Structure 1
Amino acid sequence: MPKAMIIRAAIRSDLGAILRLLRDLGDTMPAQGGTVRMSSAAVRSWTRIENDPDRTILVAERRGQIIGTLDLIMVANLTHDAQPWAIVDNVVVDGACRRRGVGRALVEDAVERCVAAGCYKIEVLFHESRPDAHAFYRSMGFENAAEGFRRYL
């Protein structure tokens, strides 16, 4: 883990910094003066997320600044002896901090949480047009094991 960085579960006061990072995924949230406008919908969504025991937003923090985030969802399951499985999504590292182990530290923390919860698998979601993401996840032991479809509503 990079020096002086901690990985922890996000708290409500992290929401603005998380929304700022998520803009890098192509979200269209308007920024005003470098800050992200926190909509009432985002606040409602945050309340649902923080009250869901099977969902954790992780953040990487260095010197009081949020420099990365990851969304971890545990899914209850009836197959595999009722072992849960997990989804990792929305992994984002601040542009100025990329290629310094922040993403790796976030994913490693998520994997440790999944192991502790008894998950039998973890699925990582990212856009197919991101060859850098493909290489990153392969380097962490993930395999391209499935192909899926998505329908936006």
Structure 2
Amino acid sequence: MIIRAAIRSDLGAILRLLRDMGDSAPAQSGTVRMSSAAVRAWTRIESDPERTVLVAERRGQIIGTLDLIVVANLTHDAQPWAVVDNVVVDAAYRRRGIGRALIDDAMTRAAAAGCYKVELLSHETRQGAHHFYLAVGFENSAEGFRRYF
């Protein structure tokens, strides 16, 4: 297995993983429709030097993904911080170290970017994910709030 930055041809597999995470309704016959909105979003993501979508690839198959965003900052001597989001591993490959490898790679990249912290949010109902995040070194140190439009 390798962890690498995603490329445009990975988009369909990434969308499949995100759908399996509960991002949207299941596609018919297991296919993922690549909407023009998704393609436009990917174009913005891949042109942002502060954003990296990572994928875990095994024998040519994308089996995990993670989104890493480095945020410019004015506090902490202008050190940036990072956000990790959309962490998902294909259900058939969970509990095999893939999520840990994705997180480890993201942490290495954040440290190399000079980040003083990495944050992530996880829905309060995802207890299994919370145990995983604690196991890979994150602390439950804040209460999060969201406002949806």
Which moves more between the two structures, 38-47 or 20-29?
Answer: 20-29
Aligned 1:1-153 pairs, distance under 5 A: 5-153=1-149
Within 2, Cα distance between the matches of 1:90 and 1:56?
A: 12
Q: CA deviation at 1:25?
A: 2.5
Q: TM-score, normalised by structure 2?
A: 0.97
Q: CA deviation at 1:33?
A: 2.3
Conserved? CA contact 2:18–2:88, under 8 Å: yes
Conserved? CA contact 1:29–1:37, under 8 Å: no
Question: After the TM superposition, which segments of 4 or more aligned residues of structure 1 sit over 4 Å from their partners?
Answer: none
Within 1, Cα distance between the matches of 2:121 and 2:56?
A: 19
Classify the secondary structure of the residue corresponding to 1:129: coil
Within 2, Cα distance between the matches of 1:30 and 1:130?
A: 19
Within 2, Cα distance between the matches of 1:124 and 1:147?
A: 11
Within 2, Cα distance between the matches of 1:46 and 1:30?
A: 20
Gaps of 5+ in 1: none
Within 1, Cα distance between the matches of 2:69 and 2:103?
A: 13
Aligned length: 149
Give the letter aligned to residue 125 of structure 1: L
Within 2, Cα distance between the matches of 1:63 and 1:7?
A: 12
Within 1, Cα distance between the matches of 2:96 and 2:90?
A: 11
The two structures, once aligned, show a CA RMSD in angstroms of 0.9
Classify the secondary structure of the residue corresponding to 2:125: coil
Within 1, Cα distance between the matches of 2:52 and 2:100?
A: 17
Q: CA deviation at 1:32?
A: 3.2
Q: CA deviation digits over 1:28-54, x for unaligned, max 9?
A: 255232110000000000000000000
Within 1, Cα distance between the matches of 2:81 and 2:132?
A: 21
